Structure 1
């Protein structure tokens, strides 16, 4: 037999190993990426406008992102420094695509969809393609994920960055290539710069590596990378510490029940014999990132209340991985039974009511659109306007038409000119005197707002109490709008003329 005749036979014997070296899970990988991404996009677009309403924090994003970059920077020196990078990013997005409601929320939808794909790939790498697919789909369906995928705030972006940083960490453990650690560190630093509490995920990653007993060089590489992230975050953390009053509204844990429930469910799932592969076990990764960030915030709250569920939104990575792996385990146990399908249908049915509720204006703590509309409807041209307290001016700032015909009695300098969120108010005596020039005053109070000992706030409340009476109140989501009418008849509650700096002015009217 000639060499030429033997050639094809040799080629046939060599070709199978060549094809075997190709990554066999590539179709599965594509499904694990595309299916969770598509589902999250679909859920994110469903009811994204929430009947064209905004809530207070989104209104802040909307207002600040419409200022130029210099104004954003100057404002951040007074307030909201921790969100300055996000506002700057949204400013650029508004410049490219317009500053409407969809543009405000679509970046969060896209970010959460990218996070869902990352969760799927994490599950695939740690426990196989079925567990990965289920984890990605579970992540998309979680109520908290659906909620913050539709909000114009930084939390979805932080969640996406932490997800992909976690994937980079898992990929770096067996390979130890420097560029992988550079990717991990860059993603974590960017997440921390978008929101400082993302640094708690760094602690969870350290615990994961410790319990996984990875080789010492891996721990050394992670320690160096983590130190770089902390060093990059430190200037922001030091500067923003002076703005701690921004979280003074937190009087106790906010929406703690969700965290406790998913933490317990996650720990229970972790006790099952979940499929795992590679040096990092799925439960060793998922449980710390689910439990530790929230637990650390709760411990810190013993000194100063700091726990808010959205601050540790990325903890949903852990519960999604655990539920996905547990569902895969459950499917293997009940391969020939309808039980698995019945259980899946029951879970989906249970998710329908909260999914519907999340797309209503009432799903948020306030509705600045409704508050502004109430001010516009209740006020008459020429009426006075007061905010109790003054920082609640942001509740009507999204649409200037709502207050265009009213006179803001306490405002000395508007928010844009003063590089603040709510503007600068006049001295207490001047506010009281201006109030007495009006027969009708529209007062906006935030729901649950406490009386302030600030002189300006005391001047507002005392002047209302002594010289006005409540005529009509409209309750809206997150606030109440009250019409006050001036008392012209002498009465004991008005007090002597000397009680108020503007009393003589009131007597002359």
Structure 2
């Protein structure tokens, strides 16, 4: 029941308005990579996003079957998150009991971050599901140690790291759990974990090396965490300070009312991977709050264990009150995540062009073209352009990103020459204060010298401007 209810609930909540928001910044990279051949995806891995290559390959084959609509691109995340929440319910059932598993799964359904990543074409939902599966496999092996079960655990751990390498930090929490279970009786069968986990780590070694080499490229924007960043970790992971406060309070209650070993193990699963990423970030900045999403499952179980602890009033009444309060507190964030991803609305900007374009129009991208170009092409290609109208030509494009084994295409160096005598140009840029042509890059200087702005439209964090040639 916890697995079925959790999966069904997450499927229902996650699928609600799943395509309401257009593909965002990072999803632009997924669109770009998924449309390439296998060889081109592997070529990209040698330069950037190497640690996400397995996910790109999955989406490449998935879209080959189901197409490249927004729903098709996001469906793997929705399915993975639904299964992951179901697995949280099963893990809670095995560790504490059916009521705890059910409440934990329903808590996960309410957490805004899990709904958000279930509707994003990125690997975080898969990491959540596989990290939870590896923890479940660990407990099965701990309860009845055998080489077969430990090998199954190692396979789950390997898949977790393959989908998202930093989700592999769950291994450190697993080592703590095995240590806690081993210490009272010194059961040697538990030590079988060490060679199989070591084999998984060795298998992940090439991915770790590749990621470390690309860290300066891929995570150059990430800064060393401060104490303020550490204090904000709960609300940034959950995307709601109210939800973070409620679940944190329940987790503290659980530490007092539940068995010390169970509470310690769940606390290790929830805190140790995140703490390790923060600690590593003091030397090599890698911490981004979404990377810690997979730790929300154990936290939900810990919170649920407080709700279902033997006490008065009845468990059903306590669970109804807590889940109702959680739903109310999560609602504002649940609404916001279905209205904007704080990214340019490429779908809306494509609609502006489609409604106003005339034959001969051109298209130019400003900053962040690596994401804007694939998302705009994604939506412009879906419009029914009736003759003689057609999608504006990308005036500055000389080599597409796939040929360059990059996420960024190569543009014409001599902007003025490539603009030729194009009378009207659609300029696509992120939303920023001031004049759209104020950017002092050579591209904008060339545009400002020859064109005047006839109109601008903003769509979320994106801006589209119609430039008309002077004279």
Report the TM range for the smaller structure's normalisation: 0.7 to 0.9
- Sort the Cα spacing of 1:185 and 1:357 in 2 relative to 1 into closer, same or farther, 3 A: same
- Indicate the larger mover: 364-373 or 473-482: 364-373
Pick aligned residue for 1:365 from 320, 336, 343: 343
User: Is contact 1:162-1:201 (8 Å) kept?
Assistant: yes
User: Is contact 2:113-2:237 (8 Å) kept?
Assistant: no
- Sort the Cα spacing of 1:433 and 1:75 in 2 relative to 1 into closer, same or farther, 3 A: same
Equivalent residue, structure 2, for 1:441:
425
When the two structures are aligned, how many residues end up with a matched partner? 443
Higher relative contact order (CA 8 A, sep 6+): 2
Q: Normalising by structure 1, what TM-score?
A: 0.77
Structure 2 CA distance for aligned equivalents of residues 109 and 471 of structure 1: 42
User: Is contact 1:120-1:135 (8 Å) kept?
Assistant: yes
2:256 is aligned with 1:272: yes
Structure 1 CA distance for aligned equivalents of residues 83 and 322 of structure 2: 28
Pick aligned residue for 1:479 from 459, 462, 467: 462
Structure 1 CA distance for aligned equivalents of residues 396 and 283 of structure 2: 35
2:225 is aligned with 1:225: no
Counterparts of residues 404-415 of structure 1 (less than 5 Å):
405-415=391-401
Structure 1 CA distance for aligned equivalents of residues 153 and 160 of structure 2: 11
Query: How far did residue 374 of structure 1 move?
Result: 3.4
Structure 2 CA distance for aligned equivalents of residues 242 and 345 of structure 1: 47
Pick aligned residue for 1:286 from 236, 244, 266: 266
Equivalent residue, structure 1, for 2:442:
459
Q: Deviations over 1:216-236 (max 9, x none)?
A: 635632332332222111112
Structure 1 CA distance for aligned equivalents of residues 392 and 283 of structure 2: 43
- Sort the Cα spacing of 1:342 and 1:243 in 2 relative to 1 into closer, same or farther, 3 A: closer
Pick aligned residue for 2:16 from 46, 60, 73: 46
Counterparts of residues 70-109 of structure 1 (less than 5 Å):
70-109=39-78
User: Is contact 2:308-2:319 (8 Å) kept?
Assistant: no
User: Is contact 1:54-1:368 (8 Å) kept?
Assistant: yes
User: Is contact 2:106-2:323 (8 Å) kept?
Assistant: no
Equivalent residue, structure 1, for 2:305:
325
- Sort the Cα spacing of 1:340 and 1:156 in 2 relative to 1 into closer, same or farther, 3 A: closer
Pick aligned residue for 1:143 from 102, 106, 112: 112
Q: Deviations over 1:440-483 (max 9, x none)?
A: 4332222469xxxxxx9832133245554444322212222223
Structure 2 CA distance for aligned equivalents of residues 315 and 342 of structure 1: 24
User: Is contact 1:414-1:424 (8 Å) kept?
Assistant: yes
User: Is contact 2:104-2:301 (8 Å) kept?
Assistant: yes
Q: Which runs of 5+ in 1 are unaligned?
A: 1-30, 450-455, 489-509
Structure 1 CA distance for aligned equivalents of residues 78 and 55 of structure 2: 15
- Indicate the larger mover: 218-227 or 146-155: 218-227
2:138 is aligned with 1:152: no
2:319 is aligned with 1:345: no
- Sort the Cα spacing of 1:426 and 1:220 in 2 relative to 1 into closer, same or farther, 3 A: farther
Q: Deviations over 1:277-335 (max 9, x none)?
A: xxxx3322221222222223333333454322221211111211111101102x63322
Query: How far did residue 169 of structure 1 move?
Result: 0.9
Structure 2 CA distance for aligned equivalents of residues 338 and 472 of structure 1: 58
User: Is contact 1:444-1:480 (8 Å) kept?
Assistant: yes
Q: Deviations over 1:375-421 (max 9, x none)?
A: 44465433343222342423413134379542323211123444433
Equivalent residue, structure 1, for 2:436:
none
User: Is contact 1:127-1:275 (8 Å) kept?
Assistant: no
Structure 2 CA distance for aligned equivalents of residues 466 and 358 of structure 1: 40
Structure 2 CA distance for aligned equivalents of residues 74 and 322 of structure 1: 43
Structure 1 CA distance for aligned equivalents of residues 453 and 223 of structure 2: 29
